[in-house]
Amino acid sequence: MMEERRIFLPSPKLSQQAHIKSMEEYRALYRESIDDPEGFWARVAEEVEWFHKWDRVMIDDFAHARHAWFVGGKLNAAYNCLDRHLTGARKAKAAIMWEGEPAGETKTYTYQQLYEEVCRFANVLKKHGVKRGDRVSIYLPMIPELPIAMLACARIGAIHSVVFGGFSAESLRDRIEDAGTTVLICCDGYYRGGRIMDSKATADAAMAQYPGMQRAFVVRRSGGKVDMQKGRDTWWHEEMAAKDIASECKPEEMDAEDPLFILYTSGSTGKPKGVLHTTAGYLLSVKKTFELIFDYHDGDIMWCAADFGWITGHSYGLYGPLCAGATSVIVEGSLSYPKPDRLWEIVEKHRVNIFYTTPTTVQACMREGDEWVDRHDLGSLRVLGSVGDPINPEAWMWYYTVVGKEQCPIIDTWWQTETGGAMITPLPGAIPLKPGSATVPFFGVELAILREDGTECEVNEGGYLVIRRPWPGMMRSSFGEPEQFKETYFVQFPGLYFTGDWARRDEDGYYWLMGRVDDVIKVFGYRVGAVEIEHALTSHEAVAEAAVVGFPHEAKGQGIYAFVVLKSGVEQSEELKKALADHCRTKIGPIAIPDHIQFVTVISRTIQGKTMRRILRKIAEGDIGDLGDTSTLADRSVVDSLFEGRR
Ligand code: WTA
Q: Fill in the amino acid letter for 115.
A: Y
How far, in Å, CA of 486 to CA of 482, rounded?
Answer: 7
The pLDDT of residue 647 = 65
**Ligand 1 centroid vs 499 CA: distance in angstroms?**
10
Helix/strand/coil (H/E/C) assignment for every residue in 107-167: EEEEHHHHHHHHHHHHHHHHHCCCCCCCEEEECCCCCCHHHHHHHHHHHHCCEEEECCCCC
Residue 302 has pLDDT above 60, yes or no: yes
Q: For the chain, how far is it from start to end, CA to CA, in angstroms?
A: 27
**Distances in whole angstroms, Cα of residue 91 to Cα of each of 43, 46, 354:** 25, 21, 22
Q: Is the CB of 438 under 6 A from ligand 1?
A: yes
358, 447, 475, 501, best to mutate for ligand 1 pocket (most atoms within 8 Å of CB): 501
Residue 565 host element (H or E): strand 557-566
What are the residues facing 502 on neighbouring strands? Answer: 464
Query: What is the DSSP track for 379-410?
Result: TT--EEEEESSPPPHHHHHHIIIIITTT-S-E
How far, in Å, CA of 587 to CA of 139, rounded?
Answer: 16
Q: What average pLDDT is seen over the chain?
A: 95
How far, in Å, CA of 4 to CA of 511, rounded?
Answer: 12
- Strand 301-304 and strand 596-600: pairing? unpaired
Q: Fill in the amino acid letter for 116.
A: E
What are the residues facing 456 on neighbouring strands? Answer: 450
User: Which of ligand 1's atoms lies nearest the C-alpha of 310?
Assistant: 20
In the chain, pLDDT over 90 holds for what percent of residues?
A: 87
| CA atoms 284, 289, 291, 296: torsion sign | negative
Sorted by sequence, the CB contacts under 8 Å of residue 176 that are 6+ apart come out as 137, 161, 163, 184, 206, 207, 210, 212, 213
Name the DSSP letter for residue 317.
I
Q: Is the CB of 266 under 6 A from ligand 1?
A: no
**Ligand 1 centroid vs 386 CA: distance in angstroms?**
10
**Ligand 1 centroid vs 180 CA: distance in angstroms?**
28
Asked which of 198-212, 265-279, 454-468 is least confident by mean pLDDT, the reply is 265-279
- Strand 477-478 and strand 273-278: pairing? antiparallel
Q: Is the CB of 309 under 6 A from ligand 1?
A: no
Per-residue pLDDT band for 560 (boundaries 50, 70, 90) equals very high
The CA-based angle 309-312-317, given to 5 degrees, is: 90
**Who wins on pLDDT, 518 or 405?**
405
Per-residue pLDDT band for 3 (boundaries 50, 70, 90) equals low
The CA-based angle 381-95-249, given to 5 degrees, is: 165
Backbone φ, ψ for residue 84 (5° rounding): -60, -25
User: Which of ligand 1's atoms lies nearest the C-alpha of 500?
Assistant: 21
The CA-based angle 271-524-423, given to 5 degrees, is: 80
Q: Fill in the amino acid letter for 447.
A: L
How far, in Å, CA of 456 to CA of 464, rounded?
Answer: 9
Nearest residue to 438 via CA among 359, 343, 517: 359
How far, in Å, CA of 435 to CA of 426, rounded?
Answer: 11
How far, in Å, CA of 612 to CA of 547, rounded?
Answer: 9
Q: What pLDDT, in 10s, does the model give residues 364-420?
A: 999 999 999 999 999 999 999 999 999 999 999 999 999 999 999 999 999 999 999
Residue 142 has pLDDT above 60, yes or no: yes
Q: Is the CB of 312 under 6 A from ligand 1?
A: yes
**Ligand 1 centroid vs 332 CA: distance in angstroms?**
23
Q: Is the CB of 441 under 6 A from ligand 1?
A: no
| CA atoms 613, 618, 619, 625: torsion sign | negative
- Output Rg (C-alpha) for the chain, integer angstroms: 24
Q: What pLDDT, in 10s, does the model give residues 617-637?
A: 999 998 888 887 777 777 888
**Rounded mean pLDDT, 38-61:** 98
Q: Is the CB of 475 under 6 A from ligand 1?
A: no
How far, in Å, CA of 199 to CA of 216, rounded?
Answer: 13
Backbone φ, ψ for residue 280 (5° rounding): -70, -50
Contact, 314 vs 308, CB < 8 A?
yes
**Who wins on pLDDT, 4 or 35?**
35
Q: Is the CB of 500 under 6 A from ligand 1?
A: yes
162, 522, 526, best to mutate for ligand 1 pocket (most atoms within 8 Å of CB): 522
Sorted by sequence, the CB contacts under 8 Å of residue 471 that are 6+ apart come out as 285, 419, 423, 444, 445
Give the 3-state secondary structure of residue 533.
Answer: helix
Sorted by sequence, the CB contacts under 8 Å of residue 235 that are 6+ apart come out as 217, 218, 219, 220, 228
Nearest residue to 217 via CA among 201, 198, 194, 200: 200
**Rounded mean pLDDT, 10-33:** 97
**Rounded mean pLDDT, 162-191:** 96
How far, in Å, CA of 320 to CA of 286, rounded?
Answer: 5
How far, in Å, CA of 42 to CA of 310, rounded?
Answer: 28
**Ligand 1 centroid vs 28 CA: distance in angstroms?**
27
Q: What pLDDT, in 10s, does the model give residues 94-139?
A: 999 999 999 999 999 999 999 999 999 999 999 999 999 999 999 9
Contact, 159 vs 180, CB < 8 A?
no
Alpha helices in 182-313 (DSSP H): 199-208, 236-241, 279-293, 311-313
Contact, 393 vs 412, CB < 8 A?
no
Contact, 253 vs 74, CB < 8 A?
yes
Residue 598: left if φ>0, alpha if ψ -120 to 50, beta else—which one? beta
Give the 3-state secondary structure of residue 307.
Answer: coil
Name the DSSP letter for residue 474.
S
How far, in Å, CA of 257 to CA of 333, rounded?
Answer: 35
Q: What is the pTM of this model?
A: 0.94
The CA-based angle 221-141-410, given to 5 degrees, is: 135
Residue 209 has pLDDT above 90, yes or no: yes
Nearest residue to 359 via CA among 553, 516, 499: 553
Q: Is the CB of 598 under 6 A from ligand 1?
A: no
Query: What is the DSSP track for 22-61?
Result: SHHHHHHHHHHHHH-HHHHHHHHHTTS--SB--SEEEEEE
Residue 1 has pLDDT above 50, yes or no: no
